[in-house]
Each structure stands twice: as structure tokens, then as C-alpha cells.
Amino acid sequence: MRQLTRLALLPLLVVLGVATLGSADTEARYNDLGHKMMCVCGCSEILIECNHVGCPDSDRMLAELRSAIAGGGVNDAILAAFQDKYGPTVLAAPMLTKFNIVAWIVPPALLVLGLVGTFMLVKKWRLRAATMPVVEDDAVSRELRERIRKETEV
């Protein structure tokens, strides 16, 4: 039993191990957060990718981001601070708060619903097909099958 518990814990340890291995350093965090925000000058570009000449905002915002990371803030707090200062459109994607959760949930939920619906539909069709009488394997049906096979070959 104890051995089984150890075996069950093994995947968890592996997951924790690799998660720790992948913990982000400052530069990676700067890059990650820079990709999660938009430049506010109106160019509609991701903050860290904003490259238009003479942009009045991106350099200043990136400097603010660097100092926020150096200040030891966690990612969500930094994003929230930027949102407070520049408004919700500064975030490149809605945060998981209030109504914004809907943005994230609806597409995968619909896909899952569609998949389940399709499975059920096919199952229903198959049940109907199963009640059909079995046709004897005579020469006519063999010929018919061969014709269908040829016709349905893409």
C-alpha cells in the first residue's frame, strides 16, 4: 500500500520539480509581462513589440515595468497596477475577473458542448442503423457494395 502511495505521489513530484526548474527570471518576466500589455499610444501593438518611431508611451511604460519588477511585485499585482493607471485596455487580454471570465470560458465550453453533442448524435444514428434488417450477402448486394466502394473513394 505504501509503495502504491509513493507511486501515486511520483507524478506530482515530477510536476513540482519541472515547475521549479522553469521558474522565470527577471528578464523572462519582463518579456512575459511586456507581451501581456498593449502600448497606449493608439498603435494597437503589444507593448514590448511597439516599434513605431517616436512613440510617446512605450519607452516610458517599459521603464515602469522594469522598475515594477525590480520592486519585487508579483505579476498579477504589476498588471493590476498598470490597469489602474492606464485603464483596462492596457491589458492585452482580459483578466480572469467578473464578466471577463466569460471571454475565456465560452469558446472552449462551446467546443466541448459541440464534441459531446456530435458524439451523442453519432451514437443515436448508429442505434438507428443497428435496427435496420440485415441484408443477405448475395451477388446483387456484393455488386452494390463494390459500386458504393468505387463511388465513395475520394
Partner 1 sequence: MPAFGSFALLVALALSGYNLLAGAVALRQLATGRRGGISPEKLAETARRAGIASFFATACAAFALVWAAFTNDFSVAYITEHSNRALPAAYKFAALWSGQEGSLLLWAFLLSAYGFVLRARHKVDVKLTAYASTILAGIQVFFLLLVNVAATPFSLVTGAVPPDGNGLNPLLQYPEMVIHPPMLYLGYVGFSVPFAFALGALMMRYPGEKWIHITRRWTMVTWLFLTVGIFLGMHWAYSVLGWGGYWGWDPVENASLMPWLTGTAFLHSVMMQEKRGMMKSWNVWLIFSTFMLAILGTLLTRSGLVSSVHAFAQSAIGTWFWVFLVITLAVCLFTYILQRDHLKTEHKLESLVSRESSFLFNNLVLLAACFTVLWGTLFPVLSEYVQGNRVTVSAPFYNRVAVPIGVFLLFLTGIGPLLAWRSTSLRSIRRNFMLPAIVGLVVAIAIIPLGVHPWTIFTTDGQGAFYAWITFAMAAAVLTAISAEFFRGARVIQGKSGQNLLASMVELTHRNTRRYGGYIVHFGIVLIFIGISGQAFNQSHEQTMNYKQSFKLGPYRVECLDYSQDSNPNYDTEFAMLNVYRGDRFVTKLAPELRVYAVNQQPSTIVANHSTLVADLYVIYAGKDPATGQPVIKAFLNPLVAWIWIGLMVTILGTGIALAPNLSAAIAAQRHRAAVQAEPVPAGRAGD
Q: Residue numbers of the site for partner 1 (CB under 8 A)?
A: 15, 18-19, 21-24, 28-29, 31-32, 35-36, 38, 43-46, 49-54, 75, 87-94, 98-100, 103-104, 106-108, 110-111, 114-115, 118-119, 121-123, 125-126, 128-129, 151-154
Of the two residues 29 and 66, which places its CB atom closer to partner 1 in the complex?
29
Spatial separation of the C-alpha atoms in residues 149 and 111, rounded to whole Å: 33
* Residue where the block lists cell 515602469: 64
* Cβ burial, residue 43 (10 Å; 0-12/13-18/19+): middle
Q: Which three cell numbers stand for residue 38?
A: 498593449
Instruction: Decide whether 115 or 140 has the Cβ nearer to partner 1.
Output: 115
State the residue for C-alpha cell 469558446.
107
| Selection from 59, 64, 56, 63 nearest residue 85 by Cα | 64
Nearer to partner 1, 19 or 134 (CB): 19
* Whether the Cβ atoms of residue 89 and residue 38 lie closer than 8 Å to each other: yes
Q: How far is the CB of 2 from partner 1 (least distance, A)?
A: 27
The C-alpha cell that represents 109 in the structure block: 465550453
Write down the least CB distance from residue 119 to partner 1, Å.
Answer: 7
> Residue 2 or 149: which CB sits closer to partner 1?
149
Q: Is the dihedral of CA 107, 113, 119, 122 positive or negative?
A: negative
Shortest Å, Cβ 7 to partner 1: 20
> Shortest distance, CB of residue 8 to partner 1, whole angstroms?
18
**Nearest to partner 1 of 6, 123 (CB atom):** 123
